[in-house]
Structure 1
Amino acid sequence: MEGITEGVNNLNITDSASANKKNRIQVSNTKKPLFFYVNLTKRYMQQHNEVELSALGMAIATVVTITEILKNNGLAVEKKIMTSTVDMREETGGRPVPKAKIEILLGKTEKFDELMAAATEELIDNEEQS
């Protein structure tokens, strides 16, 4: 069992593609609610200063909504937007169908840390009053 864990850990270290994408969130419009992703994106931005949101097909609208919420609250700026298509198989052995893909790289605004600290303080004040 230890050998397997060691092998997996070594694989992650040597796989440069995954090592560079620790700040990527793959968004689904069916698995989690919108504000789960909004809050997750904020946490990733606190850790990494920037985060890449990616989605396929119908989930693209969710990524755009997350981006707009964070921009409108003064927390994020768009650094890069990439669109493409990816061939996906609907079922095993089926023909590949092109699916739209979006990747949006968000960075912290200058006010990010200040706004996050103020939100945390407000949360603590509200808990103390209850």
Structure 2
Amino acid sequence: MTMTMATATAAADNGETTAAMITKQSAADEINQKKSRIQVSNTKKPLFFYVNLAKRYLQQHQEIELSALGMAITTVVTITEILKNNGLVKEKSIVTSTVGMKDANKGRTIQKARIEIVLEKSDKFDSVMHPSDNTNNTSATNAAATTNTNNNNNAESNEKKQ
């Protein structure tokens, strides 16, 4: 959350304080982070739904946040490990906490474990997601070279026969 001097000067010219500009920037960051947050449940969707959703979010955002409560924490950890092992992400931060929730049956507050894992794109993200870009060019080149070699061999054998 850095502000350039030009931004601070423009804010001052418009009658806004630097604190107001930082507050607006923080609000914008919060909105952007909410757009790239995936709240995981272990009862509503299968594991690979969340893995594929995370891949799609990473195509649109530089980083994503996976969060879960209670028994869904293991699902978030599994999703993170799948993405890391495929070379798509790097862990940026992991935060654990407890959250007080109202128990509907007993009417009392219970504590639930919560995890938030922020993942950022790896340097290899694009090459891992789109490996066909490199292999198609290589395959086409190899196919052309094989065709040329076969044509040359056929021409030589035809000359020997005559």
Structure 2 equivalent of residue 30 of structure 1: 43
2:103 pairs with 77, 82, 90, which one? 90
Aligned Cα RMSD in Å? 2.4
What runs of 5+ residues in structure 1 fail to find an aligned partner?
1-13, 123-130
2:106 and 2:28 mapped to 1: Cα distance? 29
- Cα deviation, 1:40-77, whole Å, max 9, x if unaligned, reads 00100110111000000000000000000000111111
TM-score by length of 2: 0.61
2:116 pairs with 97, 103, 124, which one? 103
What runs of 5+ residues in structure 2 fail to find an aligned partner?
1-26, 136-162
Larger RCO: Structure 1 or Structure 2 (Cα < 8 Å, ≥ 6 residues apart)? 1
1:89 shift after superposition = 1.4
1:19 and 1:75 mapped to 2: Cα distance? 21
The structure whose Rg is larger is 2
Q: After the TM superposition, which segments of 4 or more aligned residues of structure 1 sit over 2 Å from their partners?
A: 14-20, 119-122
Q: Does 1:66 align with 2:79?
A: yes
TM-score by length of 1: 0.76
Hey, which of these two has a bigger chunk of helix by percent? 2
1:20 shift after superposition = 3.7
Alpha-carbon distance change, 97 to 20 in structure 1, aligned in 2, over 3 angstroms: same
Structure 1 equivalent of residue 89 of structure 2: 76
Q: How many residues align?
A: 109
